[in-house]
Structure 1
Amino acid sequence: MRQSVLFLHAVRIPWFSKYDVPETYGLAPNKTINLRVETADNESLGAWFVLSDPFYHSLPTVPPSQPADYISTALKTYPTILLFHGNAGTRAFGARIRHYTAFSSRLSANVFAIDYRGYGDSTGTPTEPGLARDARAAWNWLIKNGAAPEQILIVGHSLGTGVSALLGAELSDEGISPRGVVLLSPFSSISKVLDTYRLFRVISLMKPLAMVPFAADFVKRALIHTFDTQTLVPRIKGPVLIAHAENDWEIPSTHSETLFNTFLDPLLPPAPALPTNAASLTHEEWSEYNGLLAKRREAREEIVTTLELHNFGTVHEFTESGRKIVFVQSLAGGHDYLGVQEGVQDVIGRTFGFFSQ
């Protein structure tokens, strides 16, 4: 996949954005602070810090005349969502504004949203290692300004789930424990996205290449940026929530199922491999194979709790080493608006203790 396709940073929706006037996009007066974040490799990222609704309304004067003066207190008083967006548009994109307002009001959280290098008014050119550095710079900025690690929930959407997984794995490797990681409409890897993505919701990207011997494999081997979230999953040690809409026509929900199963598989009996000569198996051999499958299903049913919510979807959950792994399958939300579904927000709030603030 060419870099210009994976990173649609040239699509600066909305065009001619007024980043220094977030009120233009419907945010409350002086509730959102426009600022810069410097990275370890000297890039400068545009960012918005959105004060949580309860904190904003508790200020002596609303709107405040100098909102930046309250960032440190807000970080120490309310939890903060560190939000990483998808591969196109900027932090001023309408769908993202709806996420800021939903998280700051329903979850009573501050929201910190950056534009990756090359996006919006940020400097540089996007690469996978570069976005990982951007994510760490945003994390470090929050810590430097008064946030405790356990008060920061890392939330990624689409491409941002790959960024979130990279940051979550890096922090876990260093023994740092954020509040948790949320993956909205994630992919298991860019390679798998190539297999499942439908252009205009209909046309398979890879199907035409299937007619050319080895063409598809060549394209995948040529990938520079892999964002292989599935391989990062075992390194993330804290609680994780994965959410996907069944009507997501850009990234199928099977990617989320794969990630959830990657967390779950180590707790289950090994999956039996179907022999290559399956047609010649005896009745006894088939019985043994099916018996092993049944034991695996039974073990899964004992570990995973499944809750069906009428007209909303399904919530799957299990606890491992004291931390929760949750998979939300919603009926609606599509690709861009999954995180503004109140049902999804409620599960996030309950899983990560937002409602006990």
Structure 2
Amino acid sequence: MSSDIASPGILTKARTALTIAGGLYALAVGLIAVPYFQRHTLYCNAIRIPWFADFDAPEKYGLALNKTYNFKIQTVDNETLGAWFILAESIYQTLPSHHTIPKPHIAHALQTRPTILFFHGNAATRAFKARVQHYSAFSSRLNANVLAIDYRGFAESTGTPSEEGLVRDARAAYEWLISSGAKGEDIIIMGHSLGTGVSARLAAQLSKEELAYRGVVLMSPFSSIAEVVKTYSVLGVVPLIKPLTMIPYAFNFISWALIHKFDTLSVVPQIKGKVLIAHAENDWDIPYTHSQVLFNAFLEPLLPNVDIPSDPVSTTKEDWSAFTAQISARKNRREAIVRTTHLPNFGVIEEFVDRGGESLVNGEPVRGAEYWAAGRPGGGGGAPWEREVIFVKMLEGGHDYVGVQEGLQDVIGRKFGLLPYSMSRFPAAPPPPPTPSVFVPPAPESEVGGSDVSDAGAWSPLPSASERGEWTGAVTKVVDEM
């Protein structure tokens, strides 16, 4: 008798709990559509870990004594960004003593070693432990200078974060490097998580303006914020938005309400030069499938098209045969141009060279080698370009520690000429005068494009793969290194 009485009570409590949970879920999803809450959810810039950081003392957070210069960069729209410049290890070890102030040696460092322009993810600051580990690895193991900034609204930087604002911040950092003595072709643009959206847009912008950079590295990237929202799972287990996809047009509302889009997929065609994408399979925040989508987007222009039947029911046998033949041709073409290397206990590397992809030259669509010979889009002349794309899918690294995996650092070092055998490319130069502590860029010609940087010159890729002694040709075999 008592069990019969208790059952309705338990069911009532369960229904009440589910109703409350559903209401909270609906409220949380609804708040994403509100610009204020959307901005704070995406950037999390109010979370300033480590709290009350002393940016004038980077040694407190693990960096070597006087290896890092703390300073400010001013943007074209008058925001002030906190920044760290970390000397490459070979430069640091040649200082008279470890008590030497690094500022006077920055220009010399920029002229003698390549520089990684690092854009971090959301939340926290440039002094966050995981980020400091990246700086230490890049400056020591890769022997590169590192410039790390805090975007507007982060740490002690002024302003409020926005997509366009973060891109302006990135451009200001690039121009500070050029103004301080770096050559564009010696700057590697590197982003992590949210920073990959910033890096991709900066690379696309520089490519459009034909300003030099050595290449771009995207660590734990996403294809777009809309896709992140769709695929995000709490602790990698509980899908956040998946229930909405079961309601017709519900997710369309979320997509429509997104103000900050960071649609990296859309800028893929604009990015020139070398691109390295890195992701860990055990990433609980952003699934590695985002990187696979981006890699495939870079590869797509080189693959044959497949005409999908519009009405499978009425499709004839001949049409199906043609369809399957197209799929087979596409698969064979992919295997022919993509080199795949399996590395035990580390992961898989896929890579290919695109000598122009598909574009319009004098109004006619051309592909691959034809475009390579034809020059830039529109038949405007100038040197053709080559784009090498590498996808490193690792077994470990999670979301925050992809860049500290030494295996990935070695791949980056080899692909971007940072390892010791590449040091001869950077002859020693006498130290020039000190750089200013606050850089103020010239007024932009347009709101987004910024001003020209004549010191950077025209965009120019690194020597081709064959010239560097690496694997050659657009057609290679699939290999397994066991």
Report if TM-score (shorter chain) is over 0.5. Answer: yes
The residue type equivalent to 1:39 in the other structure is T
C-alpha RMSD of matched pairs (Å): 1.2
Paired with 2:101 and 2:344, the residues of 1 have a C-alpha distance of 45
1:309 aligns with 2:343: yes
User: Residue 278 of structure 1 aligns with which residue?
Assistant: 312
User: Residue 300 of structure 1 aligns with which residue?
Assistant: 334
Q: TM-score, normalised by structure 1?
A: 0.97
User: Residue 55 of structure 1 aligns with which residue?
Assistant: 91
User: Residue 256 of structure 1 aligns with which residue?
Assistant: 291
Paired with 2:301 and 2:332, the residues of 1 have a C-alpha distance of 15
Deviation (angstroms), 1:59: 1.5
The one-character-per-residue Cα deviations of 1:20-59 (angstroms, maximum 9, x if unpaired) are 1100011100001111000000000001000111110011
Paired with 2:412 and 2:292, the residues of 1 have a C-alpha distance of 18
Deviation (angstroms), 1:276: 4.4
Deviation (angstroms), 1:209: 2.1
1:23 aligns with 2:87: no
Secondary structure of the residue that 2:211 maps to in structure 1? coil
User: Residue 224 of structure 1 aligns with which residue?
Assistant: 259
Bigger drift between 38-47 and 279-288 goes to 279-288
Paired with 1:340 and 1:298, the residues of 2 have a C-alpha distance of 35
1:333 aligns with 2:368: no
Aligned residues of 1:268 and 1:300 also touching (Cα < 8 A): yes
The residue type equivalent to 2:43 in the other structure is F
Q: How does 1:85-164 map to 2 (within 5 A)?
A: 85-164=120-199
Aligned residues of 2:207 and 2:271 also touching (Cα < 8 A): yes
Aligned residues of 1:117 and 1:123 also touching (Cα < 8 A): yes
Deviation (angstroms), 1:202: 1.9
User: Residue 213 of structure 2 aligns with which residue?
Assistant: 178
Paired with 2:177 and 2:106, the residues of 1 have a C-alpha distance of 9
Structure 2 gap ranges (5+): 1-31, 33-37, 356-385, 424-482
The one-character-per-residue Cα deviations of 1:187-237 (angstroms, maximum 9, x if unpaired) are 001111111111232222212323443221101101101000011111011
Aligned residues of 2:43 and 2:123 also touching (Cα < 8 A): yes
Percent of residue pairs identical: 58
The residue type equivalent to 1:54 in the other structure is S
Paired with 2:306 and 2:282, the residues of 1 have a C-alpha distance of 29
Deviation (angstroms), 1:239: 0.7
Deviation (angstroms), 1:323: 3.0
User: Residue 6 of structure 2 aligns with which residue?
Assistant: none
Paired with 1:324 and 1:212, the residues of 2 have a C-alpha distance of 41
1:199 aligns with 2:234: yes
2:81 counterpart (38, 45, 65): 45
Deviation (angstroms), 1:278: 2.4
Secondary structure of the residue that 1:286 maps to in structure 2? helix
Paired with 1:272 and 1:93, the residues of 2 have a C-alpha distance of 49
Paired with 1:272 and 1:64, the residues of 2 have a C-alpha distance of 66
The one-character-per-residue Cα deviations of 1:122-142 (angstroms, maximum 9, x if unpaired) are 000000000010000000111
User: Residue 68 of structure 1 aligns with which residue?
Assistant: 103
Aligned residues of 2:217 and 2:276 also touching (Cα < 8 A): yes
Aligned residues of 1:186 and 1:256 also touching (Cα < 8 A): yes
Paired with 2:206 and 2:99, the residues of 1 have a C-alpha distance of 34
1:81 counterpart (116, 122, 125): 116
Deviation (angstroms), 1:290: 1.4
Secondary structure of the residue that 1:112 maps to in structure 2? strand
Aligned residues of 1:272 and 1:293 also touching (Cα < 8 A): no
Aligned residues of 1:36 and 1:45 also touching (Cα < 8 A): yes
Aligned residues: 355
The one-character-per-residue Cα deviations of 1:75-99 (angstroms, maximum 9, x if unpaired) are 1111000000001111000100110
User: Residue 354 of structure 1 aligns with which residue?
Assistant: 418
The residue type equivalent to 1:291 in the other structure is A
Deviation (angstroms), 1:265: 0.5
> Which structure's CA Rg is the greater one?
2
Secondary structure of the residue that 1:49 maps to in structure 2? strand
The residue type equivalent to 1:136 in the other structure is R
